[in-house]
Amino acid sequence: MSADNSRRTYTIAVIPGDGIGIEVMPPALRCLEAAATRFGFTLIFRHFEWASCTYYLKYGKMLPDDWKSLLKTCDAIFFGAVGDPARVPDHVSLWGSLLRFRREFDQFVNIRPCRLMPGVSSPLTGRAPGSIDFFTVRENTEGEYSSIGGKIFEGTGRETVIQNTVFTRTGVDRVVRYAFELARSRPAKKLTSATKSNGISITMPYWDERVAEIAKEYPDVEVEKYHIDILCAHFVQRPHTFDVVVGSNLFGDILSDLGPACTGTIGIAPSANLNPTSKRTDEDWMPSLFEPVHGSAPDIAGKGIANPVGMIWAGQMMLEHFGEKDAAKALLTAIENVLGGAKAKVQQGGEDVLTPDMGGKGSTEVLGRAIESVLSS
Ligand code: GGG
């Protein structure tokens, strides 16, 4: 990362949020601690209960007034999930927390790996672990997620609702360039752009134009574009053909849920919300945020069965971001070994560590402990 990490001490803002975010956080912290102990660095966790609906119901807001200065004291933000729609409308909780972090810390890249992991059954059978291995790069601060618009003639037959999509040249160019750089660094050197320029006739042709313009700087990268509808179909039918996929805020969000679902479960998918240019030494330091792709999942919250891998893998991405490459590699290997060995373990009469979303009978606690113990051994 752009921080001064020579001291190898990292302060992390821990924000579990709501629902299963609260359940997957403890195993992830234990795995991070195990990695720190094994690889000789120090993690300082600063725990915050805000950015949750419980906080909102108590204080009438999602964040305290000094949230920004508190988070700026940290090297990164480790975030669980937000949302409790039975008590707080989703747009209130999301815009009051996660979207503020992304926008006000200018975390303009949301990068989400999508990989077929060992031991995880995919609805797309017959493919070997690792044969699906791509990244979605989502624009994270503008696009369809805009607060510009309004309602008029409310409650009448002329009721009208408008919400504008915002694409700025700076905003589009920087995320597209990031995606090209990522594609260039990978063996396949291939970039897929998600568009819908046949139907959305102003913003999406603009997106396509900027991709085509920036592509000129990357002659070594193969570029293709698909309308979002057929791209979703290709994700399902041939996910192994993708390498780096770049999309607007909304399209990137949809694709980064669909991709992991095609590899078995969204429960394992991590994400990094990055401000790649901010430096720890800057006066206006803006930390990046790491979270699982999944949300708060009210349907399974409180049952102890949420898959902790998305949260643990998000921690792995955070270690990578800190420059702790060996620890990050060991943590990913621990996840792969535990998932890959899980079915054989059950056949030999051992404990089922896989959570129900992966077809098992295991719990959040058991799976988290298994990964922690492999990492510590
Ligand atoms: N851990 C991710 C999370 O809480 N997601 C909630 C959600 O609905 N996010 C929408 C988004 O990422 O745009």
Lowest mean pLDDT among 28-37, 222-231, 261-270: 261-270
Smallest CA separation from ligand 1 atom 5, residue: 295
Lowest mean pLDDT among 37-46, 163-172, 259-268, 291-300: 259-268
CA of 297 to the centre of ligand 1 (A): 10
Query: DSSP for 117-161?
Result: -TT---SSTTPPTTSSEEEEEEE-SSBT----EEEESTTSTT-EE
Structure tokens given for 12: 């992390």
CA of 98 to the centre of ligand 1 (A): 7
What count of Cα atoms within 13 Å lies in the side-chain half-sphere of residue 89? 3
Alpha carbon 21 to its chain's center: 13
Smallest CA separation from ligand 1 atom 13, residue: 253
Q: Which residues contact 18 (CB under 8 A, 6 or more apart)?
A: 52, 53, 54, 80, 81, 82, 83, 84, 93, 296, 301
Print burial letters for 113-150: b (CB count within 10 Å at least 16), e (below 16).
Answer: bbbbbbbbebebeeeebeebbbbbbbbbbbbbbeeeee
Q: Given the CA of residue 17, which atom of ligand 1 is nearest to it? A: 4
CATH 3.40.718.10 fits 1-108+275-377, yes or no: yes
Range 344-353 contact pairs with CB under 8 angstroms and sequence separation of 24 or more: none
**Mean pLDDT, range 205-216, rounded to an integer:** 98
Q: Tell me: the pLDDT tens digits for 76-103?
A: 999 999 999 999 999 999 999 999 999 9
Q: What's the start-to-end Cα distance of the chain, in Å?
A: 28
Q: Tell me: the pLDDT tens digits for 3-37?
A: 455 689 999 999 999 999 999 999 999 999 999 99
CA of 234 to the centre of ligand 1 (A): 24
CA of 293 to the centre of ligand 1 (A): 7
Q: Which CATH number fits domain 118-264: 3.40.718.10, 3.90.480.20, 3.30.390.30, 1.10.150.110?
A: 3.40.718.10
Closest C-alpha among 298, 273, 304, 264 to residue 26: 304
Angle at 235 between CA 217 and CA 311, to 5 degrees: 90
Lowest mean pLDDT among 104-108, 181-185, 203-207, 234-238: 234-238
Pocket test for ligand 1, best of 111, 248, 268, 296 (most atoms within 8 A of CB): 296
Smallest CA separation from ligand 1 atom 7, residue: 295
Pocket test for ligand 1, best of 53, 82, 103 (most atoms within 8 A of CB): 82
Smallest CA separation from ligand 1 atom 9, residue: 295
Sketch the domain layout of the chain as residue ranges: 1-108+275-377, 118-264
Closest C-alpha among 16, 15, 25, 13 to residue 73: 13
How far is residue 291's CA from residue 251's CA, in Å, rounded to a whole number? 19
Distances (CA, A) of 295 to 43, 140, 173: 25, 16, 28
CA of 213 to the centre of ligand 1 (A): 31
CA of 376 to the centre of ligand 1 (A): 31
Q: Do domains 1-108+275-377 and 118-264 have the same CATH topology?
A: yes
Smallest CA separation from ligand 1 atom 11, residue: 253
CA of 296 to the centre of ligand 1 (A): 8
Query: CB–CB of 273/318 below 8 Å?
Result: no
SS3 6: coil
Given a cut of 90, whether residue 316 has pLDDT beyond it is yes
Confidence of residue 43 (pLDDT cuts 50, 70, 90): very high
How far is residue 141's CA from residue 248's CA, in Å, rounded to a whole number? 9
What ipTM was estimated for this complex?
0.91
Smallest CA separation from ligand 1 atom 6, residue: 295
Q: Which residues contact 184 (CB under 8 A, 6 or more apart)?
A: 218, 220, 221
Pocket of ligand 1 (CB under 6 A): 81-83, 94, 253, 291-292, 294-296
Q: Given the CA of residue 79, which atom of ligand 1 is nearest to it? A: 1
- Residue whose entry in the numeric block shows the structure tokens 């360039």: 177
Given a cut of 50, whether residue 2 has pLDDT beyond it is no
SS3 14: strand
